[in-house]
Amino acid sequence: MKKIIPFFLLLGLVSCFETPARECKDFKTGKFKFEHEIDGVVKSTTFTRTENQEIDFYEGKSDTSSIRWINDCEYIIQKINPKNMAEKKAVSIKILSTTKDSYMFEFNVVGSPEKQTGTVTKIND
């Protein structure tokens, strides 16, 4: 009987936590905005994503990448015309949670354990 009480206590604690919403299909295609800080300055990137391609617009330049979806919430992105060795490396992206018009994600260079996070906002369909 003593072992059953801690089990139910643990079950009660676990059931109090909500799993973040992940409606990843809503973000597979469309136009998006990502803001990030570089040396104390907020920079903005906009991009348009189709099922298998993404076109980024950053500081007046555009760049195209291919997308390979692993599942509805994870994909690998790789630049089509890399300009250097760093750009040749694929990046793994995992959507962690979603809201009506944004998603939080983590990303890393494929093979690297170092991960970063960010938030993307959907501009329109």
100: CATH: 2.40.128.490
Q: What was the pLDDT predicted at 11? A: 47
Residue 6 lies in a domain: no
Residue 68 lies in a domain: yes
Residue 9 lies in a domain: no
Q: What is the dihedral of CA 96, 89, 51, 80, to 10 degrees?
A: 160
* Position 104 confidence tier, pLDDT thresholds 50, 70, 90: very high
CA 115 to CA 123: how far, in whole Å? Answer: 25
Among 103, 53, 57, 61, smallest CA distance to 78 is for: 53
102 or 5: which leads in pLDDT: 102
Structural domain containing residue 38? 20-124
Q: How buried is residue 103: exposed, middle or buried, by Cβ count under 10 Å (0-12/13-18/19+)?
A: buried
Q: What total number of domains does the chain contain?
A: 1
Percent of all residues in the chain with a pLDDT value above 90, rounded to a whole number: 65
> Which pair of structure tokens corresponds to residue 23?
């409606």
> pLDDT of 20-73, one tens digit each?
678 899 999 999 999 888 888 988 999 999 999 999 999 899 999 999 999 999
Q: What was the pLDDT predicted at 37? A: 83
101 or 20: which leads in pLDDT: 101
Cβ(90)–Cβ(106) below 8 Å: no
The residue assigned the tokens 């990030």 is: 36
Query: E strands along the chain, which residues?
Result: 30-38, 41-49, 53-58, 61-71, 74-79, 91-98, 102-109, 116-124
Half-sphere exposure in the Cβ direction for 95 (13 Å, CA)? 23
Q: What was the pLDDT predicted at 33? A: 96
> pLDDT of 65-95, one tens digit each?
999 999 999 999 999 999 999 889 999 999 9
